[in-house]
Amino acid sequence: MTRGGIAEPVPSVSEESRSSQRQKGSVARILNEDTPLTPANKAAKLSSDASEKGDLSMPAKVDMDKIVSLCKRRGLIFPSSEIYGGLASCWDYGPMGVELKRNVKDAWWKAIIHERDDVVGLDTSIMMHPGVWAASGHIDSFTDPLVECKSCHLRWRADTIEGKGCPKCGGELTEPRMFNLMFKTSMGPVEEEASTVYLRPETAQGIFVNFDNVITTSRKKLPLGIAQIGKSFRNEITPGNFIFRTREFEHMELEYFVKPGTDEKWLDYWVKERFDWYAKLGIRKENLRLRQHGKDELAHYARDCYDVEYLFPMGWSELEGIANRGDFDLIQHAKHSGRELSYYDAEAGEKYVPYVIEPSAGVDRSVLAFLIDAYDEEEVEGEKRTLLHLHRSLAPIKVAVLPLSRNEKLTPLAKEVFNKLCPNFVTDYDDSQSIGRRYRRQDEIGTPFCVTIDFESLEDKQVTIRDRDSLAQIRVPIEGLDKILEAKLKGEAFDASPLWATREKK
Ligand code: ATP
C-alpha cells in the first residue's frame, strides 16, 4: 500500500490481532460446514464445536501482497490518488475491478431481489436527517475505544492490541477514550449556519425510515425484505489489509421484516442462504465458516448474530454479519419521529411492530474473498501460470477475441467475431504482443474463454475456444459461436481433452 500525502500513519497489525482476539473469547461459537442450522440443535451443537474449533487458522494459500500486486498489474484495483502519494485505506477500482465489483453486486441483487418475490429494492441518500442517527444509537454507541502511544503517537483500537505497550515501539499508551466512527460534514452554503450531517455508516437506516413508504406502496405482505446496495463511511481507527477494512466502502444490506415469534426461524434461514451464496459463487467451503456472537459481544440492537467468516491471509475474519435486530429500529424511529411504524396483518386482524433479520455484507470484502479464493499458480510445461478461477458470473471479461497475430487478413474476420459477441457478452479484443502473453493476461484476470482466430479460420470459418481452467480447446464454426459460448458460460461442460501440449508445440 502506498501511503503519504495527508494520510495518517496506519498500523498494519490490526486485523490479525482483532480476529485472534475474537477467537480466544470463550463466547465465540464456531459452526462447521455441515452443522444443521435448526433451533433445536443449535445451542448444543454450537457450544460443543466452539472449544474444539476455536482456532482454525491454517497457512494462507496466498499472501496479500500477491493479490495487491496482481490487482495493480492487471487494472483491478489501484491505490487512490496514487500520483500524490496515495491516501491511506482508499482504493480505486480500475477497468477490470469495476466489472468484477459490479458482477458481485449484480449476483447479490439477483439472488436477494430478482429471484424472489418477497424482497424489494431501494436506493436511499447517503446524508440523512441527524435525528436518524440519534434514534439508531449511532451518535451514542457507534464508537471504538482508542488509545494513543505517548512516544510515537500512533493510534490503536484498544480492543485489538495485546499487552500494555504500543505494538509498534513498546511506548506507554494513553487511557482509552471512546471515538465515534461517523464522518461529520456540514450541509448548507454558509458555514456558520450550516447544519451538521453525517455520512451514513450503514445503509440499513435508510431502509428503516422508509419502511412505511414501502409497505404502503408495494402491496406486499410480511414477511417482506427491503434491500439496498450503497456506499457507507466509517472513520476506522485501524483500517488495513488492502480492501478488507477501509473508511469508504460499499454495503449490501437486506432488512427482512417478519412477525415476532417467527424471527428465530428466519434467522436460521438467512444464515444458511447467505453462507450458501458464497459457496455457490465458487468460494471453497473449507475456507468459510459460521461464528455465533457471544452475549457480551452483541451490538446494542441485536438479539442474536452470526458472522460468515472467510479464511483471509491474516486469519479467519468476518465477511458478513446476519443479525436478529428484533423491533429495536422501528420502535426507536417511531419514538424519535413521532410516526407510527407498525404493520397491520389484515388476514389475522392484528397489528404489530415487525422484527427484523439483517444480512449485512461488504461489497469490497466480498470482492477480496473472491479474488483470494480464485487465485492460483500452476506450472504448465515448465512455466509458471498465474490465474484466477473466478466463477463465470463474476469474471470481469467473459470472452477474449484474440487473432493469432495483427495481420491485415486476420483483422477483419477477428473484428467481425468481436462485433458478433460483444452485444451478448462482456468481450475483450486484443491483438498486441504474442498469443502466449495475451493468454497469460486473460488468465490473470480470470477470463473463462479465449477465442482464437488463425489463418485456417479464413478458410474453414472456424475458431478455437480455449478453456481457462483445463486449457482444453475446441474448434467450432463461427456461425454458432455465440450459442456455444452462452451454453458454456451457463456451466455446460467443456468437452475436450487438454490440448495445450499440442498447441505449445505448434
Ligand atoms: P468489523 O467487525 O469487521 O468491523 P462490523 O461487524 O462492524 O465489521 P457490520 O457493521 O456488520 O460490520 O457490516 C457488515 C459488513 O460490512 C461486514 O461484514 C463487512 O463485510 C463490511 N464492512 C464493515 N466495515 C467495513 C470496513 N470498514 N471496510 C470494508 N468493509 C466493511
Distance from residue 234's CA to the centre of ligand 1 (Å): 9
Q: Which residue's CA lies nearest to atom 11 of ligand 1?
A: 321
Mean pLDDT of 268-280: 98
Mutate to test the pocket of ligand 1, among 234, 365, 366, 372 (most ligand atoms within 8 A of CB): 365
Q: What is the DSSP letter of 110?
A: I
Regarding pTM above 0.85, the answer is yes
pLDDT at 132 over 90: yes
Residue 16: per-residue pLDDT? 35
pLDDT at 161 over 90: no
Instruction: Give the Cα separation of 124 and 160 in Å (integer).
Output: 33
The values of phi and psi at residue 65, to 5°, are -60, -35
Which residues does a 6 A CB cutoff place in the pocket of ligand 1?
Answer: 202, 234, 236, 245-246, 249, 251, 318-321, 360-362, 364-365
Q: How far is CA 287 from the centre of its chain?
A: 15
Mean pLDDT of 241-267: 97
Mean pLDDT of 440-455: 97
Residue 29: per-residue pLDDT? 56
**CA 234 to ligand 1: nearest atom:** 27
Q: How do residues 79-119 score in pLDDT, each as one tens digit?
A: 999 999 999 999 999 999 999 999 999 999 999 999 999 99
Out of 99-108, 153-162, 478-487, which region has the weakest mean confidence (pLDDT)? Answer: 153-162
Segment of 44-53, 134-143, 227-236 carrying the highest mean pLDDT: 227-236
Q: How do residues 1-28 score in pLDDT, each as one tens digit?
A: 222 222 333 333 333 333 332 333 323 4
Average predicted confidence (pLDDT) for the chain: 87
> Band of the pLDDT at 35, cuts 50, 70, 90?
very low
Mutate to test the pocket of ligand 1, among 360, 364, 372 (most ligand atoms within 8 A of CB): 360
Instruction: Give the Cα separation of 438 and 5 in Å (integer).
Output: 36
Q: How do residues 353-375 score in pLDDT, each as one tens digit?
A: 999 999 999 999 999 999 999 99
pLDDT at 327 over 60: yes
Residue carrying C-alpha cell 426461524: 265
The values of phi and psi at residue 41, to 5°, are -95, -5
Distance from residue 262's CA to the centre of ligand 1 (Å): 26
Mean pLDDT of 298-309: 93
Mutate to test the pocket of ligand 1, among 245, 274, 322 (most ligand atoms within 8 A of CB): 245
Residue 9: per-residue pLDDT? 30
Q: Are 68 and 331 in contact (CB under 8 A)?
A: no
Residue 505: per-residue pLDDT? 38
pLDDT top residue among 27 and 376: 376
Q: Which residue's CA lies nearest to atom 12 of ligand 1?
A: 321
Mean pLDDT of 63-87: 97
Residue 27: per-residue pLDDT? 37
Q: Are 299 and 306 in contact (CB under 8 A)?
A: no
Q: Which residue's CA lies nearest to atom 19 of ligand 1?
A: 362
Mean pLDDT of 465-480: 94
Mean pLDDT of 253-274: 98
Distance from residue 362's CA to the centre of ligand 1 (Å): 6
Proportion of the chain above pLDDT 70, given as a percent: 85
Can you read off the three cell numbers belonging to residue 298? 452483541
**CA 251 to ligand 1: nearest atom:** 16
Q: Which residue's CA lies nearest to atom 3 of ligand 1?
A: 318
What's the full length of the chain, in residues? Answer: 506
Tell me the DSSP string of 476-505. EEGGGHHHHHHHHHTT----S-B-HHHHHH
